[in-house]
Structure formats: C-alpha cells, structure tokens
Amino acid sequence: MITLDDGTVVEDEPAAADAHPAGARPFDRPAYAGKFRTLTEGIVTPAGQDRFLAAAERLAEATAPDLPSSPPIWGCRTSG
C-alpha cells in the first residue's frame, strides 16, 4: 500500500491491462486490428495498414526468409 502526498491510497495494481486476455475487457483480433487502424489513421495508408495486419497474421508460420531484413515502409504518409 502506498499513500500519496495528497492522501490518496494506492493499494493494488491490476495484474494485466484491460485488453490483455486476462484483463477486465480482453481484446479479440478484430478489436486489436481496429485499434491499430485508429492509431495509424492519417499516418499509414489503408493499404499499408492492410499489408501490416496481413503480415502480422502470418508471423506464427513465418520463417526467417519470409521476413524483411529491415522494417519496410508500410504506406506511411509524409508531410513534405
């Protein structure tokens, strides 16, 4: 237990984030994809988002030759 200067008492911390499988509101794959799309909107093109998500879905089966040797540009927009 920790008591802050303002008197607030912090007794415990969640063992897992809400979106974690053991959390209060676990995310499923569509929820993670939706959050990714929201966070990358205006930064990564929709086609780039699709490529990234498709690559992420294949990671479990991927072998080293399947993966790029350096991070690709997934369709980032630039302001130039």
DSSP symbol at 23: S
Supply the pLDDT for residue 75: 65
Taking the C-alpha atoms of residue 51 and residue 34, their distance in angstroms, rounded to an integer, is 14
- 15 has pLDDT over 90: no
**Cβ distance 75 to 45 under 8 Å?**
yes
- Calpha distance 13→2 (Å, rounded): 11
Q: What is the pLDDT of residue 70?
A: 56
Question: pLDDT tens digits for 16-29?
Answer: 777 777 777 888 88
Half-sphere exposure of 71 (CA within 13 A, CB side): 7
In the block, tokens 């809400």 appear at 18
| Domain spans in the chain, listed from the N-terminal domain onward | 16-50
Checking if the pLDDT of 80 tops 50, the result is no
Q: What is the pLDDT of residues 34-76, one digit of tens each?
A: 999 999 999 888 988 998 898 888 888 888 777 766 556 666 6
pTM: 0.60
